[in-house]
Amino acid sequence: MSSEQDDLKQALLASVTALWESDSFPLRDTDRTRNLRPEILRRLLSLVMTDDERAALFNLPEGCRIRDTAKIIAQENLVCGKYVWIGEGTLLDASGGLEIGDHTSIGAGTMVWTHSSHLSNLAMKNESGNGLIQRKPTRIGKGCLIAGPSVVYAGVTIGDKCLIQPMSVVTKDVPSYSVVMGSPGKVVRTLSEEAIEKMIRDAGA
């Protein structure tokens, strides 16, 4: 390491230390912060990991990959299949219960919800931990592609082998073998095993 690089890095460490020790970097010691802090630190440290290492850190099954800046809320309520890919900036809210089937991909910037806080806002009671949060389980089948950025509403069930086109907003249940696009999302095509096999042949796979 060159002397110039060493000096720069030492100066950066000194700046971080000074910020950490200053009163302008406030940390709170509450039940809420103690519960949240380990998860925040885990996500921060995971930024230096590869996508498969990150999936292992989050105890996801065989073959899963999570790109950097993806976030899982209430991971203890996530039931995840094998070979699931989760893209950059994806938000998976599992607080109301979330299931994702084998070989499904959730594209970059997608938001999958299992709760809504709109009643808290309308009632002017948006304090943390209020009792107006509504939670509903969301399910995404196996062999699906949720192309990002898209949004899946709380309580929605998406069947197996569905293609959700980019920029879609899925507000209601989607049958298996559906192609969905738009806001609100609508089924624009129905696939079949024969159609899928032809697509694979046409792709030369």
For residue range 45-69, what is the model confidence (pLDDT) as tens digits?
888 899 999 999 999 999 999 999 9
Q: What is the pTM of this model?
A: 0.85
Within a domain: 97? yes
Residues 6+ apart with CB under 8 A from 20: none
Does residue 61 have a cis bond before it (omega within 30 degrees)?
Answer: no
How many domains does the chain contain in total? 1
Within a domain: 100? yes
Within a domain: 85? yes
Within a domain: 42? no
Within a domain: 41? no
Work out the widest C-alpha separation in the chain, in whole angstroms: 65
Rounded to whole angstroms, how far apart are CA atoms 19 and 11?
Answer: 12
* DSSP-based three-state secondary structure for 10: helix
Q: Tell me, what CATH number does 196's domain have?
A: 2.160.10.10
At 137, which amino acid appears?
P
Q: What domain range includes position 152?
A: 52-202
Within a domain: 37? no
Label residue 126 by pLDDT band (50, 70, 90). very high
Within a domain: 5? no
Rounded to whole angstroms, how far apart are CA atoms 37 and 46?
Answer: 14
The per-residue pLDDT of the chain, averaged, comes to 94
Within a domain: 29? no
Q: What is the mean pLDDT of residues 154-177?
A: 98
